[in-house]
Amino acid sequence: MELDNKQFKFIKPLKWEEVFKIWQSNEINEPHWQDYYKKEGFESWLDWRKKYIEPIKAMNKDWKLIKVVNPLKSVPNFHGGPYKGWDKNFYEGRDLPIFAELKEHWASAEFLKNLPSRSTIIAWNTEIGIVIIEGMHRCAAITKAAKEKQDIKLDFYIAMADCLLSDIPDFREKEEKYEKNN
């Protein structure tokens, strides 16, 4: 999808290793994620996330860093990613709905309260629009702020790769297979 240059500004190209570091730095030291993956039986953040990271890396896409000019305007129009938990609990039967259409996440208020002043999410740019890989909770929180007409100050970026929707791994299927194998 062609990005609106009034809402999205190209910053620089990224290598996969840089995208991986963004993902890792967003989650690895967060106590709630540490508690979650340990409760799920994983030894480390990488053990937990490798079922997502490996197929994304294997896509061998060109990545770029994009600044989102007005997150309150843009983020509600981003699509949720293909994840089983989100699909089951928040999509209400829709396939990859935009955040403005999602059932509100129970933790959105808490995430909004603790939203960093600068943040980078990871996403695919597809023919239907931007589909989130990493940063679902932050997008849900920003959407809550937009719906409630809250003014938030946020430097918001996307590590983004262009691809066809049909090329995106469907992690809803992979999660089921992964659960059956563990």
Here the tokens at position 12 are: 């620089």
The pTM assigned to this predicted structure is: 0.92
21: left (phi over 0), alpha (psi -120 to 50) or beta: alpha
pLDDT in tens, 24-37: 999 999 898 999 99
Compute how many other C-beta atoms are within 10 angstroms of the C-beta atom of residue 12.
9
Here the tokens at position 33 are: 């994620």
pLDDT in tens, 119-149: 999 999 999 999 999 999 999 999 999 999 9
Residue 49: enclosing H or E segment and its boundaries?
helix 45-58
- What sign does the dihedral 129-79-63-12 (CA atoms) show? positive
